[in-house]
Structures are given as C-alpha cells and as structure tokens.
Structure 1
Amino acid sequence: MNSVILVAAGRSTRMGGQGDKLWLSLAGRPVIAHVWERFDRCPLVDEIVLVTRPETQPRFLQLAQEIRTTKPFRFAPGGPRRQDSVWNGLQAVAPEADLVAVQDAARPCTPPDLIRACYEAARRTGAAVAAQPVTDTIKESLDGRFVTRTLDRARLWAVQTPQAFQTSILRRALHEAQRRGLEITDDTAACELIGQPVELVVHPAPNPKLTRPEDLPFLEWLLRQTGVAPNP
C-alpha cells in the first residue's frame, strides 16, 4: 500500500499579502486542486493525507467534491515547522502503508511519470527524491554581502518533491532529527542522519514550486503545455 502526505499547512509569507497561495486561481482552479488531483489520479497512490490548518479543512472538503476525488483521504494538523507537519502526517498514514511520498502542496506541475519513478526508487533503495542538477554557478557567502567561495556545481543538486520513502525508514529518520533537536527543511536530510542512501530521481520536465506572485504566470504556461489549462 502506498500513501502520500500533501503538506498544505504553510502561511504563504512570501506571497506579498495575497493570502494563502494554495487557494489562488491557477488555470481557473485553486493551486491545491491541481496538486491533489495529480496524486488522486495516480494508480500507485492508495490514500492521501492532507496536512492542513484546522480552519481550512471545510474548504478542502468542498474541493474534494468539486474535483471528484476517488482515493480515500484524511486530515492531519500542521505543526510549527515543516518537519513537524510531515511527522503529524506520518502518524495519520495507514499502518499497512509500505511506501509514503511527501509532496509540497504548492508544486502543481509535478509530472505523473516523476511520481511513479519516485515510488519505484523508494521501493528499491529505501528513500528517493526528485532532483535536478544545478546549472547556475553557486557562491557561498558567510556575511550575505561578499563572496566567500565558489562551489563546484558539478556535484550539486536541487531537490524538490515528491520525496518517497519506505515508511519505516522515514519514521526512523524523522525521529532521529527530533532526538537530536535538529531543524531540517527537507525530509531526505533526516535520512542522512541515519545513514540511509537517498536515490536521485531526475525528470526532464519542469517541476517548480509556487513561492512568489511572479511564479503564477510561468506555472500557468506550464499547465497549458501539458493540456491541463486552456489556451487563452
């Protein structure tokens, strides 16, 4: 059995006062509708856990009717940090779930083939992450004003979601992060704490995340390219 945790409890602090970015209109529907539907239609997904703020749950229930979800879903409460939200979602996953994926609810263009590939890699390796090789030259700065050094981009990868895991491995990894009192922004970082190999899953299609208002036109353009959004 395979589960997915949709992390949808953020506060959208970088959206310039436009409100919760998950409910902004993208190709005529809320951003979260695109994300939820992609996982709901994925044959490998058996259940969906939505990590949300309690006050938004009625909107999610209404959306489930509008997009006619087919997979069982349940809610888990968001936590003060992303890793706390993922941990709460993990507690709501069915006990018989062998694999669990974690997906940013603000990443609406994730290709179905990438979702499938991440689950398959997690079954092989134990943990997997959608990733792209870094193409820009990356500089490190210790003070935020001046360059300290240049990093070797040939060894650098930008990781995204989905991130998929054998459920017992993710549980053990997040527990170790908690035990050490560490704050992580990425669940595969917790795997590094327990020595768990993480397989990089590369896909040629863009998989951007909605972070700022200026991201919306690009996301809508991408959806049009895949036939999800109508051409203007």
Structure 2
Amino acid sequence: MNAAIIVAAGSGTRMGPGVDKLFLPLAGQPVVLHAWRQFDASPWVQQIIVVVRDGQQARFQALAAEASLGKPFQVVAGGAERQDSVANGLAALHPEVELVAIHDGARPCVTLELIEATFKAAAVHGAAVAAQKVTDTLKEADAKGFIRRTVDRTHLWAVQTPQTFRVEVIRRALGAARQRGLNLTDDTAACELIGQPVVLVPSPMPNPKMTYPADLLYAERLLR
C-alpha cells in the first residue's frame, strides 16, 4: 500500500499580504486541487493525507467534496515548521503503507508519469526525488551583491517534489533531524543525516512551485 502527503500548511507570504496561494484560481480550479487530482488519479496511491494550517480543515474538506475526489483522504493540521507538518502527515498514515510521496501543494504541474517514476525509484533505493539538472550559469555573490566566482554546475540539480520514500526511512530521517534540533525545509536533507542514498529522478516537464504572482501566469500556460 502506498500513500501521498500533500503539504499545504504554508503561509505563502511572498505571494502577497492576505493571500492564500493554494486557493488562488489556476486554469479553472484552485492551485492545490491540481496536485490533489493527480495523486487521486494515480494507480500508485491508495491513501492521501493533506496537511493544512490549523483552522483550515473544513475549507479543504469542502473543496474535496465539491471536486468529487475518489480516494480515501484525511485532512490533518500542520505544525510550526514544514518538517513538523510532514511528521503530522506521517502519523496519519495507514499502518500498511510502505511507500509515501511527499508533495508541495503549491506545485500544480506534477504529472502522473513523474509520480510513478518516483515511486518506482523509491521502491528500489529507499528514497527518490524529482529534480531537474541546472542549466543556467551559476554565480556566487559576496555580501554586497557582487559576483565572487562562477560555480561549476556539472553535478548540480534543482530538487522538487514529489519526494518519495520508504516510510521507515523518512520517519528515521526526520527523527534524526529532530534529535539534532535542525529545521530542514527539504525532506531529502534529513536522509543525508542518516546516510540514506537518495536517487534523483529527472523531471522532463516543467514542475514549478507557485511562489510569486508571475508563477501563476507560467503555470496557467503549462496547464492549458
């Protein structure tokens, strides 16, 4: 049995004051519903956990009812930090779940093919992450905003979500981060703490995260 945790507990402050980016309209439906529908449609997923800001549970329940989603799901309250929200999602998993995909609710362009690829890779390696090879020239800057040096991009990748794991692997990894008092914004970084290899799964299609207003315009074109 496999599951997906959709992390939708962020505040989204960079989108603008008083804006809940997950409910902004995008190609005819709220941002968060795009990713939710993809995991609902994936044959690799049997349970969905949506982690939201406390107090928003009823709003997400209503969204799911209106969208007529088919798979069993739970809406649970998030924590103070992202890794706390992920931990709350893990705690809600069915005991028979072996593999879990963790996905940002603000990444609406995830495809069924990418979801499948990360599950297949995690089944073999224990941990896998969607990623794209860095193609831009990278510069390191000094404190005043001047270029210090050019960074070799040969082995650099930009990681995305889904990040998919054997359940026992991600629980152990997040436990190690908690024991060390670390606040990590990326789940694969916790795997590095315990020496767990994480395989990169190339994402062939754009898979942007909605952070700024211009991202919505880009995603609108992609989805249409």
The alignment's TM-score, normalised by the length of structure 1, stands at 0.94
**Within 5 Å, which residues of 2 pair with 1:202-217?**
202-217=202-217
How far apart, CA to CA, are the structure 2 residues paired with 1:144 and 1:104?
Answer: 33
How far apart, CA to CA, are the structure 2 residues paired with 1:90 and 1:107?
Answer: 20
Which deviates further from its counterpart, 158-167 or 139-148? 139-148
**What is residue 229 of structure 1 aligned with on the other side?**
none
How far apart, CA to CA, are the structure 2 residues paired with 1:155 and 1:144?
Answer: 27
**Within 5 Å, which residues of 2 pair with 1:148-163?**
148-163=148-163
**What is residue 59 of structure 1 aligned with on the other side?**
59
- Aligned-pair RMSD on alpha carbons? 1.1
Unaligned runs of 5+ in 1: 225-232
Q: CA deviation at 1:149?
A: 2.6
How far apart, CA to CA, are the structure 1 residues paired with 2:144 and 2:61?
Answer: 44
User: Runs of at least 4 residues of structure 1 off by over 3 A?
Assistant: none
Matched to 2:164, the amino acid is A
Q: CA deviation at 1:181?
A: 1.0
**Residues 166-195 of structure 1, C-alpha deviations (whole Å, 9 max, x = no match):** 000000000001111112111001001100
The alignment's TM-score, normalised by the length of structure 2, stands at 0.97
**Within 5 Å, which residues of 2 pair with 1:142-221?**
142-143=142-143, 145-221=145-221
Asked whether the equivalents of residues 53 and 77 of structure 2 are also in contact (C-alpha less than 8 Å), the reply is yes
Asked whether the equivalents of residues 4 and 49 of structure 2 are also in contact (C-alpha less than 8 Å), the reply is yes
Q: CA distance change for structure 1 residues 63 and 194 in 2, over 3 Å: closer, same or farther?
A: same
**What is residue 22 of structure 2 aligned with on the other side?**
22
SS in structure 1 of the partner of residue 15 of structure 2:
coil
How far apart, CA to CA, are the structure 1 residues paired with 2:19 and 2:116?
Answer: 32
Unaligned runs of 5+ in 2: none
* Aligned-pair identity (%): 57
SS in structure 1 of the partner of residue 137 of structure 2:
coil
How far apart, CA to CA, are the structure 2 residues paired with 1:59 and 1:166?
Answer: 30
Q: CA deviation at 1:139?
A: 1.7
**What is residue 112 of structure 1 aligned with on the other side?**
112
Matched to 1:147, the amino acid is I
Matched to 1:31, the amino acid is V
How far apart, CA to CA, are the structure 2 residues paired with 1:45 and 1:69?
Answer: 13
Matched to 2:108, the amino acid is P
